[in-house]
Amino acid sequence: MQGPDQRTVQAADPKAMRQMAGVYYGEFPSPDGVYREQAYRTYDAGGLWQYRDQTCTVGSSLPCSQGEGAGQWAAYQQADGTIFVMIHFSDLNRSNTCVSQTVTRVDAQGYADEYGSWRRVR
């Protein structure tokens, strides 16, 4: 019997998966400007997903905190032209975590979602 992750990936929209597939980079300040996150996200067309990031205190010589995780993802084209993405992953702090995002634009340069803009690097 297949688990929920395999069924979710199998039910995904293949065109949306191919459109999103790639490696992306984004930088995001905290709302108070104290921290800055630098993150890479990899979306494999076959449904594998991973991230690697670091969060640094702005203007500080303290070491940045490092994070990484991996899991599966699935994309679904929506009627309004956006792409709904579900990600199921684990990392050093979370196990079997599910998150979603709505991608409002994806092209050769990158994509935009509710967090900001992500630049395609591969």
Q: Which CATH class is domain 4-120?
A: mainly beta
DSSP state of 4: H
Could you read off the pLDDT of 85-117 as tens digits, one per residue? 999 999 988 998 999 999 999 999 999 998 899
With 60 as the cut, is the pLDDT of residue 35 above it? yes
| Structure confidence at residue 2 (pLDDT) | 44
What's the rounded mean pLDDT across residues 31-49? 95
With 60 as the cut, is the pLDDT of residue 20 above it? yes
The Cβ of residue 99 has, within 10 Å, a number of other Cβ atoms equal to: 12
DSSP string, 23-42: EEEEEEE-TTSSEEEEEEEE
Distance CA 56, CA 97 (A): 24
What's the rounded mean pLDDT across residues 10-17? 90
| Structure confidence at residue 10 (pLDDT) | 74
Distance CA 113, CA 118 (A): 8
Provide the whole-model pTM.
0.86
Residues in the chain: 122
Could you read off the pLDDT of 50-86 as tens digits, one per residue? 999 999 999 999 999 999 999 999 999 999 999 999 9
Domains of the chain by residue range: 4-120
Per the structure block, which two tokens stand in for 55?
């969060």
